[in-house]
Copies of this chain bind each other. A is one copy, B any other.
Amino acid sequence: MRRKVLVNAGEEWPDDLIAELSEHAEVIKYGTATVEDLRDAEVLVTFYLSPDDLKLMHNLKFIQVLSAGVDHLNWSVIPEDVMVCTNAGSNAEPVAEHAMALLLASAKRIAFYNSRCKSGDFSRPVRTALLKGSTLTVLGLGPIGLKVAEHAKSMGMKVRGYVRRPKSYPSVDEVFLHPDVAGALRGADACVVALPLNKHTRGLVDYEALSSMKRNGILVNVARGPIVVKEDLMRFLNENPDFVYATDVWWNTQDLSKDWDVALLPNVISTPWVAGAFGNPAVFGEMVRFALLNVLRYLRGEEALNRVDRSDYL
């Protein structure tokens, strides 16, 4: 029997890569898969899992997720012997650019002054901050965090990193180890959260961590909402009106409007989870290619990238 790969990526279908994959396996669009295809499938490429379909997939050995994060997966329905890989790095460029946009917009008070100019008020009650020479802590040095560190370094910022397993990072001046997040943030002018959400990072940025930053600091989140403790953040923002929280991500991912209480705070600027592929077909196409290249590695018997340690999520 030929190996089968199910791809759940909507209309996206890069013919050249599919042809390469087809040398090793039959590649089937998820939407056209029969019950037999589900039973036979060795590989599944997808954003989300259907628990019902998964029950049928007795031959499944490899799940390639299309998103960089895998915190949304229901791990209890994934058999332990199925390898799961994230798509980390596939959209690092747009997300890192979005982080820089939120950081710069906060420092230069773009949203604040733009709405005032639109209302006809051209006065200048608050000053803007200079990034050059200031200190940025990047929480997480995966592909997104590393890109942010590079951009920040090239703008003359002092860059700190925060990781669990340190490597050598040319763009990072000082590396702090998990769980010393308060140390990594001590006296920092700005912080970009670029961590995966898992049991090590959930609630990592709490009141104590926030308090170790400068009172007029900027916290940028392009990772996941629950890495920051919502109640602690709201208390800290209320107590420190010069501190800014700039976020693209939220706590209630099924209904962002449930986090309206945070968006409404005067020292919050926000976007509705658009940093990644959202709405940009070129970026989404790149994410699918990135994922399929990893499937190709797997089918050829090479080592797949971004393999998840499921104990991080259980």
- The answer to whether B110 touches A101 (Cβ under 8 A) is yes
Which listed residue (B115, B117, B123) contacts A115, Cβ 8 A?
B115
Closest 3 CB pairs of A and B: A127-B279, A101-B104, A122-B256
**A-side interface size class:** 35 or more
- The answer to whether B115 touches A271 (Cβ under 8 A) is no
Which listed residue (B118, B121, B131, B269) contacts A97, Cβ 8 A?
B131
- The answer to whether A128 touches B274 (Cβ under 8 A) is yes
Judge if A61 is at the interface, Cβ distance under 8 Å. no
Judge if A74 is at the interface, Cβ distance under 8 Å. no
- The answer to whether A257 touches B120 (Cβ under 8 A) is yes
Residues of A within 8 A of B (CB): 93-94, 97-98, 100-102, 104-105, 107-111, 113-118, 120-124, 126-132, 150-151, 154-156, 250, 256-257, 260, 263-264, 269-275, 278-280, 282-283
CB distance from A129 to the nearest CB of B (A): 7
- The answer to whether B280 touches A127 (Cβ under 8 A) is yes
When distances are taken between beta carbons in the complex, the residues of chain B under 8 Å from A107 are: 97, 101
Residue of B nearest to A125 (CB): B279
- The answer to whether A101 touches B108 (Cβ under 8 A) is yes
Protomer copies:
2
Known contacts A97-B132, A110-B110; is-contact A124 B279 (Cβ 8 Å):
yes
Which listed residue (B108, B111, B114, B250) contacts A98, Cβ 8 A?
B108
Residue of B nearest to A93 (CB): B132
A100, B132: Cα distance in complex, Å:
13
- The answer to whether B97 touches A283 (Cβ under 8 A) is no
A151, B123: Cα distance in complex, Å:
29
A257, B116: Cα distance in complex, Å:
11
When distances are taken between beta carbons in the complex, the residues of chain B under 8 Å from A280 are: 127-130
The listed residue with most B CB atoms (<10 A of its CB), out of A118, A150, A156, is A118
A151, B271: Cα distance in complex, Å:
24
Which listed residue (B110, B124, B130, B272) contacts A102, Cβ 8 A?
B110
A154, B148: Cα distance in complex, Å:
11
A118, B266: Cα distance in complex, Å:
9
When distances are taken between beta carbons in the complex, the residues of chain B under 8 Å from A121 are: 257
Known contacts A118-B263, A131-B97, A282-B130; is-contact A109 B274 (Cβ 8 Å):
yes
CB distance from A154 to the nearest CB of B (A): 4
CB distance from A147 to the nearest CB of B (A): 9
- The answer to whether B117 touches A271 (Cβ under 8 A) is yes
CB distance from A101 to the nearest CB of B (A): 4
Known contacts A272-B124, A280-B129; is-contact A110 B109 (Cβ 8 Å):
no
